[in-house]
Structure 1
Amino acid sequence: MKKWFSNIGPATLVTAAFIGPGTVTVCTLAGVKFGYTLLWAMLLSIIACVVLQEMAARLGVITQNGLSAVLKSQFENKFVRSILIIIIISAIFIGNAAYEAGNISGGVLGLSTIFKDPTITLGGLSFNYLSLIIGVIAFCLLYIGNYKVLERSLIVLVLFMSLAFIVTAIVTKPDLSLIAKGFVPDFSSEKLIMIIGLVGTTVVPYNLFLHASLVKEKWHSPKELPFAQKDTVIAVVLGGIMSMAIIVSGAAIQNIEINSAGDLAKSLEPVFGSAAKYVLSTGLFAAGITSAITAPLAAAYVVKGCLGWQGDMRSMKFRLVWMFILFLGVVFSSLGIKSITIIQFAQVANGLLLPIIAGFLLWVMNRKRILGIYTNSLFQNIVGFLILLAMIFLGFRSIWKVIINL
């Protein structure tokens, strides 16, 4: 058991990244609006996530390089390489800065159930001190710069988060026969946008960069690849179970207007008692703080790989990147600034980046010069290609959604 636990970790950070307040909110709305009928969409999202994250992990273990460094090395033309680097850094760096505010706000939403009225006013300016508390916790864990400390901290938080969401789902006493029917695919037009939302909140482009960079912190030999693969399957499937538990919890709410996960936490109180509200709120806090840690970390790894920086997590350049992302998140969250333009840019950039990165990943995973005998099998290529087609559709749909809302 001790040996088993010693070989899990990097993929847990991926789960910590994609189970954020955004995922909690999307899954909540899926349950409230469509009951258990979209559980199949979450299952497909998890399969797609496992396939792509396994490729990223395999690339990191075999090459001992992050995805951005491998990508940069494959383009000899300086102009093309520069354009690619600009696109990646813009999408990941600015996108993560925009979403970091949402991560911190989600953690604040969870804590606000316990701490009433967490705002203070200084000189006519309202300030939410819980945002600062979450920012300080994230800062301390990142500043230590010790991968093992960070890994173990997030494993504890993810396990705590899992327990919170799964217990909440059990408390709702769901109908098991209806849950089973929820795994039958249904592509009704009114459910299409929600299906896209579930996929988009699970398969996240910056997680591919983060995972490839993290595995080489823990494993250094092709012989250790099976550990990375098992880690990926276990952690991502656990994340999928959490997401499904949130959908199940949302399905228990009837005739109540739900706009966020915070509304779900409040709505559970009159139906299932105050305990359910507190359990879900602590889960939401864990979701917020884990994503608040991993988003700046991913941005720092991407910039480091793209620009060819040397050094580890304690290097000043690396720290300055995640500090800047974290700082913006705390400011936007604590002051209630709604950075609509930045978030819209992030949606467009990520919509463009996801199919590009998925396509590059498929391409590079078939290059024997890089991976040797560890290239994709025919089955992996077929599944990967189908996922890529879905990613292209998702990308165009997210971009179109932003355009029509301008």
Structure 2
Amino acid sequence: MEIKYRTYEAGDEVELAQLFNICFHYSGAGFSRTPKNILWRYLDSPSGKAEEIQIAINSKTNKIVGAISCPIEDLIFNGEHFKSGSVNDVAVLPKYQGKGIAKELLQRTIDFMKREGCKISSLIADPKGHARSHLYLPFGWQDIVKIEVCVSLNISIFRYFPIIFPYAPFLILNIIKQNFRLKKLERKFLRLNIKTKIIHTDRNNLIPKDLNDILRCMYNDNSMKNFNGSVNFSKEYWKHFRENPISSGSKPTYIVLYRNQEIIGFSSFTRHWFQLEKIGFRIPLAIAREFIIDRRYFTNFNHFLLSSSFLIEKTIEASKERKCSTLLVAVSDQNRILYSILNNKRLFHFPGAVLMYKNLDKSSIKSFSSFPFNSKPIQHDLGEIWLYP
């Protein structure tokens, strides 16, 4: 059996969607890919190009048997820009695994990143997965940050997932406590002149252009000041990924904090269907994208912490409004404030993934031991580990 390798060609998105769904649903659960999703995510993005998707083909059947996608990003570490390749969707059909196809695809992806001038590469992996131990580590990626997933369950989970009904009393008690905390915080924040507005953009609630610009700039400013590895959203990128997603479910809900009519923070989430194919269920999930509060507006640190807690509670409330059975928040222990607040809310915690980096330019980056990972928490897309495993 001969395997040929090439990059994306028009029309490949149909077979790629089939490939990813087979591979990522192999364990019996996952998010569904569609041809439109692949085009929107990679090829139609502002910097999308065919070379970002490396493909393996069975030369006899001319069918796609493996692929890797790798969009190019501009990451910021301590104010310095680093061109980076983000390795996603590493997939080989089960019966073709163990034949070196993934290794060849990954090597071609590395060559592509170097041609593009990338200095580093990032990916997110299962810390106990075969790919991490047999593919990513041998090819030079290193573990940088471990990520946990915090889960807030809404009462509608029983409609989609009745198998957990025995836990209903515990969940109902937890929801009552959440509502009590929220009402208490709302009364406190009324005295501080802090109010919230929930905007569900999937309901044709268009965000005014000036508000979109404020949120984008606040995201960029906060990320650069408080995190490393952040992506600086240009107007084109924000418009593509936030304003023009491929489906109404992918349109974000924004929870905006105001103080005296001035925006002091916001959070957002998107809604997705998670397939549990082995037991025949689909669950609507809200996946948090970011929680941002501008600390400059708070001279009292306790008020800042309370505002962060309030924003999380309002995000949980907004996810219920959008009929999501679950809110997922991915967080690392490097982000100590968010991690601590989520811990205090007694949400369910699960091991998530590990964020890995590879040095592609040893002439300018001698080693990751001297790289500024630890000076600030590492930024990562909160939904990335769920949407694009």
Same fold (TM over 0.5): no
Q: Which has the higher strand share?
A: 2
Give the structure, 1 or 2, with the largest relative contact order (CA under 8 Å, sep 6 or more): 1
Larger of the two Rg values belongs to structure: 2
TM-score between the two structures when normalised by the length of structure 2:
0.29
